[in-house]
Structure formats: structure tokens, C-alpha cells
Structure 1
Amino acid sequence: MPEGHTLHRLAGRQRKLLGGKTVAVTSPQGRFAEGAAVVDGMVFHTAEAWGKHLIQRYRPFAGARRSGERLIHIHLGLYGAFSEQTAPMAPPVGQVRLRIEATDVGVDLRGPSACQLYTPADLDALVARLGPDPLRRDARPERAFAAIARSTRPIGALLMDQKVMAGVGNVYRAEVLFRAGIDPYRQGTRISHDDFEALWADLVTLMRVGVRKGRIHVVRPADDHGAPSYAADRPRTYVYRRAGEDCRICGTTVAHAVLDGRNLFWCPACQR
């Protein structure tokens, strides 16, 4: 599932491609036909992300009879993806849930777990149940610390809980805990405020790099050598997907377990 930086990068890309343009909106697949009809012919105002959720905002063009902003909420899930092409767009291929076409460019959305019209109240409810997002300037990290500090769950589970912190996925979870030297099984109640502030600051830095580069980069330049990355098209990691290999720092075998249904990786020597 895409981590939060991917959604923020998508939002920025869609603002650049479509922002301020009147768009034709359809659902070639048909599953979002009624929703598409509501925003068809409106102006694509902006897109923004909260964690792993994307919100598109549409407004009437000047002089239009209808008024008021309309929202589309998208969650990509495991299989959702956007693709772009110049306009006029070619006939849709495959199960295109949402097609947005301006005069010069368009995007198709396939395979999302959610694509639905939202009201402002729906968005308020979504934001209320999400933890702070390290990539949003309006984030309130103290909310995340309060949730962590009162919990006996492992910090490795809490960082992945979108109600605690929005947008953090498995790669960032494993790598930021390694960089902080924190055992993923340490209870939330044993995470000091200084620990949390360091984790939050590192997540902000790393996830901003992810937005800028379009890829996750987590290994410090001084450590960016030795064993190759876990896949040919991925940058190196310290522990993520390196179970059984030597730690890049101390040589201890990287450990693996399953925590709350997700693969967990850590170095037993570096993370105490």
C-alpha cells in the first residue's frame, strides 16, 4: 500500500496538471458514474492529502448556475493507481474507475479501494479519526504523543496505526525506529517525549525527501554502501526486507517477525 509521501506527491502533481482547469469527469467502468456526473464540467480547484487519503476539490466555473464546492475522496488501497496522458485521451483500457480530462491532459484512476463523493462533514469526520500527518503543515504532533504515551502497545504497532499517526507505512516504520535506536516492541508508555520528538522530526525529514524524489530514501550518506538494496529498483534500507542479512552498522543479523499482521524488521543490537 502506498505510504503517505506518495499521496502528497500525487496531490501536488494533480494540482500542477489540473488546477484551475474545467474538466470532463466520467467513470468508464461505471462504478462511480453518479459521482462523476456531479463534478463533470466543474473546475478542478485543488487536491490535498491526509495520510493515505487523497481529496480532490471541484468548484463551479464562473457564471455557472450551480454553486458550492464538491469533493471526491480516494483511497488507493493495495491496487489503486493513477496514470496520465495528453488530451485528447485514448479510449479507456481496463477498469477505469475515474477519468478526469482537461483540454491538454487527463488522468485515469484504476483499482482504488475507495472513490466516493464527500461532503465537508464527511471530510471533517475522516480528519477527526486520523492522527497527525507529518507532511501537513497544520499537523499537531502532540496528539500523536498523547496517544502513544498512554498506550502499552508496542511502538512498532502504534506508528502504523493511522488513528495515532497518519501516512506512516511499513518502510518508514522500520527505518525510523532503526535510525532512532528504538526496539519496535518497546511499549508506548516507555517512549519519552524526547524519543517522540526525535521520531517525529526524522519522519518529517524523510517523508519530505520521499515527496521530492518520488522514492523512499532512508540510509544516511555515510552508510550508503555495502549490501545492495532489497530490490533492483529500490534504494538501500537499514533493516526493511533485510531479514537474515547483516546489519549495515554492527553486523548483527537483522530480525523479522509479524506484528499486527505486518512484517516487522529490526536489528536486535542497534535497537534496544
Structure 2
Amino acid sequence: MPEGDTIHRHARNHRDLFVGRNVAASSPQGRFSAGASHINGKRLEAVEAVGKHLFYTFEKRLMLHVHLGLVGSFRTHRTIERPAPSRGTRLVLSAGDAAAYLTGPMKCELLDRIEVHRLKEWLGPDPLDPEADVGEFASNLATRTGPIGAVLLDQDVIAGIGNVWRAELLFLCHIDPDTPANELTSGQVDCLWTHAVTGLQHGVEVGQIETVTPQAIGLPKGTQLRPSDKRYVYKRGGHGCLLCGAEIAVSRHGGRALFYCPQCQDPLKAQ
């Protein structure tokens, strides 16, 4: 599932390409034909990302909500010479030479402002929101008794964290995934929030989730890492930890596989 950094990157790209322009909208698949007809030709006034959600504000108070879900994706084209959208494309937005093709989203719908407000109010703080801070995140964690490995996926606790980032954040902060969320120390909470902010900001810029630096694993700065070595634990089950050499383990939290290092994230070391 695309995580918060990917969604914010889409928002930034779509602001650059479409905001302030009259946007053509269509649904080759047909499942969003009625919605597309309402926004077709309307001026796009704003694009906002909150966690894993995208909100497009058109003139006449029309608001489009997109959630990519597990398999959804946007393909953005910046020239008139582009492939035709596939028959499964849920939505095409275009203006001038630019176009964005949306396929496989969990949500692609028109909402009124009250519905948008309720959805945003339900979401937890977004690390990529300049006005968000660790305080609300800490307060949310304090009400949760479940393991932090599951709680980090709750979008009403922190918005934008998915399966990749939760594993990497827990590793970076040396936190055992089974630790009850409300038993984390203030230092651990601050660590999770700080790495979420800086990590997702980096992800927006580079277009992928990278948590390992060459220097951190004893290599010279500027060394090109293999794709498999750009993350400490995610999808590295059975391989040696890049820091301590212990075998990366896999558990299930929140219904999904969670990768962690039993040595670096040993709860006894946190005491």
C-alpha cells in the first residue's frame, strides 16, 4: 500500500500540473463516470494530502477524495505523447499536456465539505503536516494498550504510516513490536515521531522509502547501496541484520507481516 510519503509526492506533482487550470475528467472504466462528469472542465483550486488520503478541491465546492488502498496507483504523464489509458483506469485528469491516470483505488468519490471535515478529524497527526507535533501522537498512544507493532498502522493514531514505515521506525528506535503502545517511554515516542517526520520528508523527495545510509553500515559516504540494503528490516526476513548480524525475524501484527531484529529490538536492552 502506498504510504504517506508517496501520497504527498502525488499531491505535490498534481498541484504543479493542475491547480489553477480547468481539468478534464473521465472514467474509461466507467465506475466513476457520474463523478467525473461533475468535475469535468472545472477549475482545480487545491490538492491536499493527509496521511494516505488525497483531496482535490474544484470550483463550486466540489471535492474529490482518493485513497489508493493496497493496489491503487497514479501514473502521471507530463507530455502530450503518452499512452492511452487502459480500460481499467478509474479516473483520468488532464490539462494541457499533462495527465494523471488512476487505477485500482480503494476510494474515488465526491464528498461534501462536512464529510471531508469528519474524515480529516478522525485521522491522527500527519508527520508531513508542518503544524502537527508529537503531542497529539503521544496522547493517542497513551490510550492504546495493544502492541505498538499493530497500533502504528492505526490511521487515527498517526496518519500515513504503513507496513514498510512501521517496521523501519520500530527498528530505528530499537523498539520491540510487542511493547504495549501506552508503555512506551517519552524518549521512544519522540524517536518514532522524529524519524517519521525526517524519513517521510526524504521519501517525498527521492520517491522511495530509504532508511539506511552507507555510513550507518560502515561504508564510505556516497556508496551506492543495493536495493535490498536500503531498508534495515522490511522484507529482509531470514537475512542478517545490517547492524548486528542477527537473523531478521517475521511476526504478524495488525494482520500483516512485520519484520524486526530480535537483537537490536530486544526489550531487555530498552530497560
1:169 matched to 2:157: no
1:25 aligns to what SS in structure 2? Answer: strand
1:13 matched to 2:7: no
Q: 2-side partners of 1:243 and 1:235: how far apart?
A: 13
The match for 2:222 is none
Q: 2-side partners of 1:120 and 1:140: how far apart?
A: 25
Judged with a 3 Å threshold, the aligned counterparts in structure 2 of structure 1 residues 173 and 209 are, in CA distance, closer, same or farther, namely same
Unaligned 5+ runs, structure 2? 220-224
Q: 1-side partners of 2:133 and 2:111: how far apart?
A: 24
Q: CA deviation at 1:166?
A: 0.6
1:95-141, Cα deviation, whole Å (9 max, x unpaired): 12111121222121111111000111111111121111101113243
Q: 2-side partners of 1:123 and 1:237: how far apart?
A: 34
1:122 matched to 2:115: yes
The match for 2:246 is 252
The match for 1:190 is 183
Q: CA deviation at 1:182?
A: 1.0
Percent same amino acid among aligned pairs?
Answer: 40
Contact 1:25–1:99 (CA<8 Å) still a contact in 2?
A: yes
1:80 matched to 2:72: yes
Unaligned 5+ runs, structure 1? 60-67
Q: 1-side partners of 2:262 and 2:188: how far apart?
A: 18
Judged with a 3 Å threshold, the aligned counterparts in structure 2 of structure 1 residues 84 and 260 are, in CA distance, closer, same or farther, namely closer
The match for 2:232 is 238
What aligned pairs does 1:122-161 form with structure 2 within 5 A after superposition? 122-161=115-154
1:161-214, Cα deviation, whole Å (9 max, x unpaired): 111111001111111111111111111121122211121011100100000000
- Identify which of 105, 110, 135 aligns with 2:98: 105
Q: TM-score, normalised by structure 2?
A: 0.90
1:56 matched to 2:56: yes
1:107 aligns to what SS in structure 2? Answer: strand
Judged with a 3 Å threshold, the aligned counterparts in structure 2 of structure 1 residues 38 and 184 are, in CA distance, closer, same or farther, namely same
Q: CA deviation at 1:224?
A: 4.4
Q: 1-side partners of 2:241 and 2:227: how far apart?
A: 21
Contact 1:131–1:144 (CA<8 Å) still a contact in 2?
A: yes
